[in-house]
Amino acid sequence: MRRTKEEAENTRQAILDAAVTVFSDRGVAKSTLENIAREAKVTRGAIYWHFANKVEIFDALHDHLHSPFIQRILEGLEVEHADPVGQLQKICTEILTELHEEPQTQKLLTLFLLKCDYSGEFADSKAKFLAKKRRTYDAFAAYFTKAIEGNYISAKADPHLLTLALQSLFHGLVVEFLEDPVTINLQQDGPRLMAMLFASFRHY
């Protein structure tokens, strides 16, 4: 039974890996389940065992990308830290520098941020992704609220504005890197930009 379960999970992962390649090469809208099955070297029946359609595969890829990201942020929030703002800076910096060396994650982000227009059958996916983005917003804001309550930053600081600033720089930096990795080096530029931004938070 264990082997069968492991094989099923391996097949599911092979389908997801194949979908990344197919979506990247052909575009999400023009990709078919047949294309994905051929790339994964499985039957369409194997795909239907795990996913009802292409949209479910697309959403599963986004879950695969977002879940570790938000879990990392939430876990950091649960830990008592002498400097919540510094803790959040460290987490964001690590995520950026690690992205520089993760081509598969770069492919996924390119799909979600640059290559899909979220029209037609993918409209519901956009709504789901927006809900996840708001969850990230809430987590970031919780760090800043915690920092204000602990007198780590000014009581006049607005968690909403600080969160918008962080999200804007983080998102913008990732998009710029995906579009032009020659100009932007996340391992070098990411830490410096995060340091500049978080320094401004401390002097808000």
pTM for the structure as a whole:
0.89
**1, pLDDT greater than 50:** no
Q: Which of 134, 135, 153, 132 is nearest to 144 (CA)?
A: 153
Nearest-angstrom CA–CA distance, 135 and 86: 21
Comparing 81 with 173, the larger pLDDT belongs to: 173
Residue 23 is predicted with a pLDDT of 95
What number of residues does the chain have? 204
Type of residue at 143:
Y
Q: What is the pLDDT of residues 50-70, one digit of tens each?
A: 999 999 999 999 999 999 999
Mean pLDDT calculated for residue range 107-114: 95
Q: What is the pLDDT of residues 111-131, one digit of tens each?
A: 999 999 898 899 999 999 999
Domains and CATH numbers, the chain: 1-51 (1.10.10.60), 54-202 (1.10.357.10)
**2, pLDDT greater than 70:** no
